[in-house]
């Protein structure tokens, strides 16, 4: 499922195996991975696995990794890449990767920060960073445009922000040739993660935000060699501890029962990440849960769309009413949800979060991603700068009210920024000065480029 599949207000989100809203389970998984709530993260991933939505869980974890850890734990990125390309998704391995993701303690929100800062940079006709003057690559035989020289030298001097500003203004060939040339000079393990990042949109399911792939590539090739061994070292957590395995076994035994609904959806996970996170508190989603068991058509409406229930309906019977009887007998082993106590219903459904007519803010969502309860991560000036740049780009309240996901908005803003970058006039070439001559040894890889 991509952000385009998220339910719009006024429509119904499909329910998981144990009748949580599918979009809220992914939001809860993302939140618990970010906040190191290991048991709950495994619970939400296991709910997706039992709902035959393991790939959706993997995609959610990849997004958390990219936006929260960047290039800090590249061996994890390499492992989930291999897992997603396997003939069959190994759910035990996926649970281990979830456990590892929750235990990471060194955050790196560079990718998310660069992604959002770049939206503001793109509106400028002059670069966000000026590099030093140089004679490198400026001879008569060098026919590159000034903007191409700026892009190349930005990468070779590890100035990612400058490279991101210049990339849309260069030819695709220049961008690909430069990045792959640098990557091919790196150790094999880093070449592997570079090409995994380059093909991110093809294997991860994150097809809606290609700029994240480019930034990840730039971040990898700009890693200082002194950090190579530390960033690619295998994860020391090679197995899930017994205490968590016991919980997973207990949850497996309870499959299909009301008692399997152990955890409530965390409200802090919902804002702008799912349908309920867009609703005012005067509206709620309880009526969707209470549709279950109130007739064939209403039950079908809230179940269909989750792979588990879709397959169950499709194979139960060719006759719709007969299929409903089979599904109902299987699904409602502990009475229908409308007969459950309110406390049980509220574990998965409830009121919206916002005041009626309240404006919805990207800054609030961004703060939930890049910041944490640890004060050292509170970057007030960065938050304000990024929030301002986001809200200037096609992020009007009407679209937010229609239920677009926040990452879908990011993709929209990115498209606007790139289009703008390709249409506004460039600054004079003397504003695009390049790297110092003493960097010549590091630029030896230029010999590999055929431009």
SS3 string, 260-285, reads HCCCCCCHHHCCCCCCHHHCECCCEC
Residue 69: inside a domain, yes or no?
A: no
- CA nearest to 151, candidates 135, 164, 141: 164
pLDDT band at 432 (very low <50, low <70, confident <90, very high): low
Per-residue model confidence (pLDDT) at position 8: 33
The angle formed by the CA atoms of residues 138, 141 and 142, to the nearest 5 degrees, is: 45
Query: Per-residue pLDDT tens for 66-96?
Result: 888 888 899 999 999 999 999 999 999 999 9
Which of 9-13, 105-109, 201-205 is least confident? 9-13
Residue 157: inside a domain, yes or no?
A: no
Instruction: Please give the residue that has the higher pLDDT: either 31 or 449.
Output: 31
Residue 49: inside a domain, yes or no?
A: no
Query: Per-residue pLDDT tens for 321-353?
Result: 899 999 999 999 888 999 999 999 999 999 998
Per-residue model confidence (pLDDT) at position 117: 77
Q: Which domain holds residue 322?
A: 281-352
Residue 15: inside a domain, yes or no?
A: no
Instruction: Please give the residue that has the higher pLDDT: either 210 or 96.
Output: 96
Residue 32 has pLDDT above 60, yes or no: yes
Per-residue model confidence (pLDDT) at position 405: 52
Q: Report how far apart, in Å, the C-alpha atoms of 146 and of each of 237, 370, 441, 449 are.
A: 48, 35, 21, 17
What global pTM score does this model have? 0.83
Rg of the chain taking only CA atoms, in angstroms: 24
Hey, is 19 helix, strand or coil?
coil
Residues pairing with 333 in the sheet:
335
pLDDT band at 436 (very low <50, low <70, confident <90, very high): very low
Residue 322: inside a domain, yes or no?
A: yes
Residue 295: inside a domain, yes or no?
A: yes
Residue 377: inside a domain, yes or no?
A: no
Residue 331: inside a domain, yes or no?
A: yes
Q: How many domains does the chain have?
A: 1
Q: How many CB atoms lie within 10 A of CB 227?
A: 11
- CA nearest to 207, candidates 370, 432, 5, 428: 5
């Amino acid at each position: 499922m991509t952000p385009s599949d998220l339910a719009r207000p006024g429509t119904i989100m499909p329910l998981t195996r144990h009748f949580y809203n599918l979009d809220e389970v992914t939001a809860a998984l993302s939140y618990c991975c970010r906040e190191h709530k290991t048991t709950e993260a495994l619970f939400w991933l296991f709910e997706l696995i039992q709902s035959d939505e393991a790939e959706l869980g993997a995609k959610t974890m990849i997004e958390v990794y990219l936006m929260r850890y960047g290039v800090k734990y590249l061996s994890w990125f390499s492992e989930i890449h291999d897992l997603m390309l396997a003939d069959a998704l190994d759910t035990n391995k996926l649970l281990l990767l979830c456990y590892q993701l929750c235990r990471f303690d060194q955050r790196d929100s560079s990718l998310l920060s660069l992604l959002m800062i770049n939206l503001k940079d793109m509106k400028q006709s002059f670069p966000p960073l000026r590099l030093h003057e140089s004679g490198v690559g400026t001879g008569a035989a060098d026919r590159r445009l000034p903007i191409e020289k700026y892009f190349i030298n930005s990468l070779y001097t590890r100035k990612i922000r400058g490279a991101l500003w210049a990339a849309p203004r260069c030819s695709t060939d220049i961008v690909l040739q430069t990045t792959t040339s640098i990557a091919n000079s790196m150790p094999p393990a880093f070449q592997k993660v570079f090409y995994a990042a380059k093909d991110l949109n093809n294997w991860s399911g994150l097809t809606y935000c290609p700029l994240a792939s480019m930034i990840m590539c730039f971040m990898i090739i700009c890693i200082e060699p002194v950090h190579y061994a530390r960033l690619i070292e295998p994860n020391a957590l090679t197995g899930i501890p017994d205490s968590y395995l016991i919980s997973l076994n207990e949850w497996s035994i309870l499959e299909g029962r009301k008692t399997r609904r152990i955890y409530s959806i965390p409200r802090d996970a919902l804002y702008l990440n799912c349908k309920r996170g867009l609703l005012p508190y005067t509206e709620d989603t309880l009526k969707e849960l209470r549709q279950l068991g109130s007739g064939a058509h209403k039950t079908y409406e809230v179940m269909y769309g989750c792979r588990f229930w879709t397959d169950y309906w499709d194979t139960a019977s060719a006759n719709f009413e007969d299929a409903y009887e089979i599904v109902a007998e299987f699904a409602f082993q502990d009475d229908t949800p409308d007969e459950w106590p309110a406390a049980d219903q509220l574990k998965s459904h409830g009121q919206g979060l916002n005041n009626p007519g309240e404006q919805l803010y990207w800054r609030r969502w961004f703060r939930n991603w890049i910041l944490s309860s640890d004060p050292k991560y509170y970057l007030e000036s960065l938050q304000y700068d990024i929030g301002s740049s986001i809200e200037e780009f096609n992020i009007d309240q009407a679209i937010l009210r229609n239920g677009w996901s926040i990452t879908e908005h990011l993709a929209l803003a990115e498209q606007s920024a790139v289009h703008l970058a390709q249409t506004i006039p460039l600054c004079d070439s003397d504003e695009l000065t390049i790297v110092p001559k003493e960097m010549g040894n590091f630029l030896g890889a230029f010999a590999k480029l055929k431009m």
